[in-house]
Amino acid sequence: MEALKGIRILDMSHVQAGPTCSQLLAWMGADVIKFENPAGDATRGQLRDVPNADSLYFTMLNCNKRSITVNMKTAEGKQVFVDLVKKSDIVMENFGPGVLDRLGFTWEKIHEINPRIVMGSIKGFGSSGPYADFKAYENVAQAMGGAMSTTGVPEGPPFVTGAQIGDTGTGLHLAIGLLAALNQANRTGQGQYVEVAMMDGVMNLCRVKFRDHQRLTRQALSEYSVPTYQGMGEVPRAGNDSGGGQLGNAIHCRPHGANDWLYIVVQEAVWEALANRIGPDIGMPNLATDPKFHSIGERRKNQPLMWTLINKFAEKHTKREFMEILNPLNVPCGPIMSTQDLATDEHVKGREMWVELDHPQRGKWWNVGMPIKLSASPAKIERSPTLGEHTDEVLKFVLGYDDAKIASMKQAGAFSTPPKTPKKAA
């Protein structure tokens, strides 16, 4: 964890998009101080599976961070924020539009406090344009960024993806932007504002669909298994088509359960070997030279029949058996793996992508590991912090506050929610 050693990040983000970004940077060695209001990140209590313990929603997105609770509605709390801004390289937020501004901390003010600091901001639709004030969530971003309209089957409704491309995808985009801005700040001495909109991030991840959108102005999309035509306008939903130049689809295998599928890509270079292997078993020994399939163009035109024939062969094999048949033929393929498959997979555990941790509130639990492997800076994954666990530590050792000052600020309510004033009887 040496890559970002010495970099301090003041992380005001919450829920998923921002915490995804800061957790990744923490795994690279940054000192991430999670700056929470006294009630804490809302996800600490959302979808809770262990009573009185931080939820997995929180713990899986906030590893390797320190937590400090600050009441920004007090003058003392605002001073803590200002002092931390002075000591940080990056500040992050994903509040709704105008929240920080109303607290008196515009980007211009933060830049004035620390000219070198980089500020990362995640918004649903950005800070400009007619959608700027709209609220966004994961699936809203997928809907408005082009993912849902191109996911599913033509005759069915649009689908969201299981992967969190709206939130987590945006967090990954922000991490790239922050590191680029930090590098520039190291050269120039000047920080900058880095903004990533969830809608923009989803559009970027749908880039190949916008490739096809433009191709449709000139031609049909021959690799699609569903009908397309020149001038069609919008890119259709195409089920499990590969979306690339090679044909691909999911094949149902024995015993035909919900996840007994193998995804196969039929490259031009492997067709002959594949056809020679499966042809005799389905009563078509000359499949490789059959005029309906002998060229990539013919296979594209007749791909529904081609997939039917491959499915017929797969009826006798499990997805793992079929994969073992195809691998020696160099056919790109992979089983559809459930969460249970992945949680017990030898390859996954060997790459430390399913990691067991211990937590003082919830005990043993598992997290998805670090997907980026740095040879000279391997990540060491540590548990998420409890609420305010490091408040005194940060105040003393980062800001240099003495015990008397901390006690005075606590007395003023800088780190706690003020008690509610009882309503007077009418």
CA 225 → CA 76, 153, 158, 205, 249, distances in Å? 63, 11, 17, 22, 10
Could you identify the residue written with the tokens 């809302």? 42
pLDDT digits 0-9 by tens, 185-230: 999 999 999 999 999 999 999 999 999 999 999 999 999 989 999 9
Q: Cα–Cα distance between 359 and 19 in angstroms, integer?
A: 18
CA angle 125–21–101, rounded 5-degree value: 50
CB 264 within 8 A of CB 249: yes
Instruction: Give the span between the Cα atoms of 365 and 56, in whole angstroms.
Output: 8
At residue 425, φ and ψ (nearest 5 deg) are: -65, 140
Structure tokens at 216: 């449709």
Is 167 catalytic? The answer is yes
Asked if the model's pLDDT at residue 426 lies above 70, the reply is no
pLDDT at 362: 94
- pLDDT confidence band for 422 (50 / 70 / 90): low
**Banded pLDDT at 10 (limits 50, 70, 90):** very high
Q: Where are the beta strands (DSSP E) in 85-231?
A: 90-93, 118-123, 193-197
Instruction: Indicate whether 74 pLDDT > 60.
Output: yes
Decide: 163 and 12 in contact? Cβ < 8 Å.
Answer: no
Work out the average pLDDT over 29-37.
Answer: 97
CB 171 within 8 A of CB 20: yes
pLDDT at 303 over 70: yes
On the CB side of 212, CA atoms within 13 Å amount to 23
Q: Is the confidence at residue 133, as pLDDT, over 60? A: yes
What is the model's pLDDT at position 425? Answer: 56
pLDDT at res. 322: 98
User: Residue 419's pLDDT is what?
Assistant: 62
- pLDDT over 70 percentage in the chain: 98
Indicate the angle between helix axes 17-27 and 168-188, nearest 10 degrees: 60
- Using one digit for the tens of pLDDT, what is the confidence trace for 367-409? 999 999 999 999 999 999 999 999 999 999 999 999 999 999 9
Determine the pLDDT at residue 242: 85
Better-predicted residue by pLDDT, 296 or 424: 296
Predicted local distance difference test score (pLDDT) of residue 335: 97
**Dist CA 21 CA 4 (whole Å):** 14
Of 167, 212, 241, 260, which one is the catalytic site residue?
167
Task: Indicate if the pLDDT at residue 70 is higher than 80.
Answer: yes
Q: Cβ distance 372 to 299 under 8 Å?
A: no
Is it the case that residue 3 has pLDDT exceeding 60? yes
Residue positions counted in the chain: 426
Q: How far apart are CA 68 and CA 58, in angstroms?
A: 15
